[in-house]
Structure 1
Amino acid sequence: MLRLRRSLLSHILSSPSASPISHLSRLISAAAPAVSSNPSFAAEDYLVSTCGLTRAQALKASAKISHLKSPANPDAVLSFLAGLGLSTTEAAALIAKDPQFLCARVERTLAPVVVELTALGLSHSEIARLASLSGRQFRCRPIVSRLQYYLRLFGTSHNLLRVMKFCNVLSYNLDRVVKPNLALLQGCGLAACDIAKLCISTPRLLAASPKRVQAIVACAQNIGVPRGSGMFRHALRAVASCREEEIAARVEYLRNTFRWTDAEVGMAISKFPPVLNKSKESLQLRSEFLISEAGLEPVHIAQRSVILGHSLEGRLRPRYYAMRFLKENGLLKRDSSYYTVFKESDMTFKKKFIHPHKEAAPHLEKDYDAACKGEVPTNFRFT
């Protein structure tokens, strides 16, 4: 019977022609609880044998559903989840996280929620993913209005699900926390698209207390990035997870590693705030390469600190090798700054500096591609 209901529900959900009303009625009938012939209900055993939880998970979860007298409603919920497209493993993870999901009413709550989410434009696979990620919020009718709010914020259901993978924003208090935080960000001069990008990359910022968000804003300004500037969003993200003493320590490390003055380290951070989040090892390697090997002056790096965000092995070093080869073989008509060389897209770099020399250096593109993969071709070994 359970397998039959799952099959029916899956068929109904995959039918694009069903109207919301008929869809709702079919959802309900397909997952309608059958009358159990078992007068007793052993919750822990059911969670293991039917839901797929481990014994330890079931022991912990069983207390939340110990009031159930029959497997009828849990069976209906499992059928419903299977019809949405959740695998046995996904359903088990959901129930382990929220055992009371098994107590939700298909007719009163789950089926209507699915119909309303479908009306918002979510696909059945997206609804299944949302159910898996949101847990308890999915079995509460306010999920629909909250989802509408976040869809407007993030722009697409894809972005929302991407955020939900890391934190359940549907559990955040909209009126007391989320909306005040967004108002603070708007007051900093951030456009709606910038706020969306910031919240997608740093979703826990939405759940921080407004007082904490104010402190993050002040910290971003203190590192030299003014409100309203194009880098302010990046500055907020860079300092969002750091305490003041951590930022001070990172600033000091940058100053010493790149031999910068106070003014130069401030300039570097204001032009590329994510440099604060780079590991010490990666910064040390970039310093050694850019200063000791490529011969760039520290002030030059500070003025163009965005190059510190590029891959050392995948971009900086291969392009330096290619340019040095061209220079030493007299193939460059004019000298280009390494900043210009480093910032170009791979297609543009090849178009400007590789392809024009196909006849004079037919091996150059192959050598450059090999260098991008971490190899050092013979032609790029300079003495």
Structure 2
Amino acid sequence: MQIVKSLSVLPPSPLYNLLFIPKLPFFSSFSSLANTVEAPNPALFHYLMETLKFSKTQALLISTRYSHIKSMEKPQSVFCFFQNLGFSNSHIQSAILLTPQILFANIEKSLKPKIKLFQDIGLVGCDLGKFISKNSPLLTASLKEKLVPRIEILKKLLLNDEKNEDLVKVIRRCNWLISKNPESRLLSNITYLKSCGIVGSQLSMLLKRQPRLFVMQESRLRDLVSRVLNMGFSINSRMLVHALYTVSCLSDETFERKFGILKSYGFSEYECIEMFRKAPGLLRTSKEKLKLGIDFFLNVVKFKKEVLLHNPTYLMHSMEERVIPRYKVLEIMKSKKIFKKEPSFINVLHLTEEEFLQKFISRFPDDALELLIVYKGNILDSSS
């Protein structure tokens, strides 16, 4: 204990701080030291600065960690290897800052097989460079024991993904490939979700949209499901997966803020929950769009509140591209007394784009140009 106390009063050594930096590159806090500490590996230090264009601080930190490296042959080969793959200099720099040890990896035995694995699932050129720049620890993971088995598990979960497009999205959005012992957690969470009736395409959808659900602690996943069940969703309901996706996307504060917006327009707590049950995606709508939609339907279209209560999906339509333009077209047609019988705006909202254009613009050639301008919001040149 006395030794510890005496050590604690010793003046801090800049070199000590450099030697005991964390693996993640928190470079900014050491910038002042870079001007006072001599690089223990001048060759690597200058290579990092001159070839890879690292700052003096970054080069000093890496060269300090690898003071035993004398030859620059391997770092130069790795740099050229990445360049030949189509990586930009910023991609290479970011990858090395995150995982400096890849500079000294064996290209043939270590880097090439792993890069080929990612190329085979569809990551090539600039896309591959961008991916590796943010996930370079993958290049230090075991190919046979971690990367290949884990990718195979993901493939089985993603149904009908012959082109691996969904697989690439999942891998980009989740650090599951480099997590510690994720297989047991993944399989445990899958088993639990299946027990809730989330299977097949629903399970695949959830993995694509929110892969982090599959790597979180099962206790946390159970808490999210319990929260959804407490709001009236039931096990084996097809809406359960959509509700789970929504609550996993939003913090508790954001969730309550969205409810607060609904309440500010006169909806009760019970009615807010009812709207969420009918359209779980409603709360993923931005607060600006939510306010615009409620205000427009209640104050411009003059819907009764009950209409939105029973049909909350109306608030999920694009206001700028669908709701407001269609309303303006109907208002023009009313003013021109084109209708023999005025259509319901609710029915108009349900029409596809093609159906709307056919029924409310193409059918009236004398007014079609004016109506199209109103609908598309374009001012056409008079000469054209």
TM-score bin, normalised by smaller chain:
0.7 to 0.9
**How far does residue 248 in structure 1 lie from its aligned partner after superposition?**
4.2
1:184 is aligned, of 183, 186, 192, to 192
Q: Is the 8 A contact 2:361 2:372 kept in 1?
A: yes
Residue in 1 that maps onto 2:272:
265
Matched, 1:319 2:330: no
Question: Structure 2: which 5+ runs fail to align?
Answer: 1-40, 380-384
Code of the residue aligned with 2:185 in structure 1: it is V
Report the TM-score when normalising by structure 2. 0.76
Separation in 2, partners of 1:232, 1:334? 41
Larger relative contact order (C-alpha < 8 A, sep ≥ 6)? 1
Equivalent AA in structure 2 for residue 87 of structure 1: S
What do the CA deviations read for 1:107-152 (whole angstroms, capped 9, x no partner)? 321123344555x554643655543342111232232222232333
Q: 2:110: which partner in 1?
A: 109
What TM-score does the superposition give when structure 1 sets the normalisation length?
A: 0.76
Kindly indicate whether residue 359 of structure 2 is the aligned counterpart of residue 358 of structure 1. Answer: no
Q: Is the 8 A contact 2:131 2:172 kept in 1?
A: no
Match of 1:296 in 2: 303
Separation in structure 2 between the aligned mates of residue 332 and residue 55 of structure 1, nearest angstrom: 74
**What are the residue-to-residue correspondences of 1:96-175 with 2, within 5 Å?**
96-116=97-117, 120=120, 122=122, 124-125=124-125, 128=129, 130-140=131-141, 141=143, 142-154=146-158, 155=161, 156-172=163-179, 173-175=181-183
**Equivalent residue in structure 1 for 2:282, among 270, 275, 279:** 275
2:338 aligned residue (325, 331, 343):
331
Residue 53 (structure 1) aligns with: 54
Work out the number of aligned pairs and report it. 331
Contact preservation (8 Å) 1:41, 1:69 = no
CA distance in 2, matches of 1:54, 1:165: 28
Q: Does 1:86 align with 2:87?
A: yes
Structure 1 segments unaligned to the other structure (5+ residues): 1-39, 376-383
For 1:365, the aligned partner's letter is L
In the aligned structure 2, how far is the partner of 1:333 from the partner of 1:263? 41
Aligned pairs for 1:236-275 within 5 A: 236-244=244-252, 247-257=255-265, 259-275=266-282
SS at match of 1:52: coil
For 1:316 and 1:267, the matched residues in 2 are separated by 23
Superposed CA deviations along residues 142-192 of structure 1, whole A, max 9, x for unmatched, are 322222323333435333333444443322342232222222222222233
Change (3 A) 1:187 1:47: farther
Q: CA deviation at 1:237?
A: 1.9
Shift of 1:319: 1.0
Kindly indicate whether residue 215 of structure 2 is the aligned counterpart of residue 214 of structure 1. Answer: no
- Which residue is equivalent to 2:203? 195
1:232 aligned partner = 240
How far residue 75 of structure 1 moved from its aligned partner, in angstroms, is 1.6
- Residue 322 and residue 228 in structure 1: after superposition, are their counterparts in 2 closer, same or farther (change >3 A)? farther
SS in 1 for 2:363: helix
Alpha-carbon contact 2:122-2:168 (below 8 Å) kept: no
Q: d(CA) in 2 for partners of 1:203 and 1:121?
A: 18
Among 305, 324, 327, the alignment partner of 2:312 is 305
Q: What CA RMSD, in Å, does the superposition of the two structures yield over aligned residues? A: 2.7
Measure how far apart 1:55 and its partner are.
Answer: 2.8
- Go from structure 1 to structure 2 and tell me whether the alpha carbon gap of 1:49 and 1:352 turns closer, same or farther (over 3 Å shift): same
TM-aligned CA deviation for residue 238 of structure 1: 1.4
Structure 1 residues 98 and 316: CA distance shift in structure 2, 3 A: same
What amino acid sits opposite 2:91 in the alignment?
Answer: E
SS of residue paired to 1:240 = helix
Q: Secondary structure at the match of 2:219?
A: helix
Per-residue CA shift, 1:236-282, capped at 9, x if unaligned?
A: 1211144556534532431332x224443222111111222334333
Question: What is the rounded CA distance, in whole Å, between the counterparts of 1:133 and 1:298 in structure 2?
Answer: 47
CA distance in 2, matches of 1:233, 1:330: 47
Letter in 2 for 1:326: M
Partner amino acid, structure 2, of 1:331: I
Per-residue deviation, 1:104: 1.4
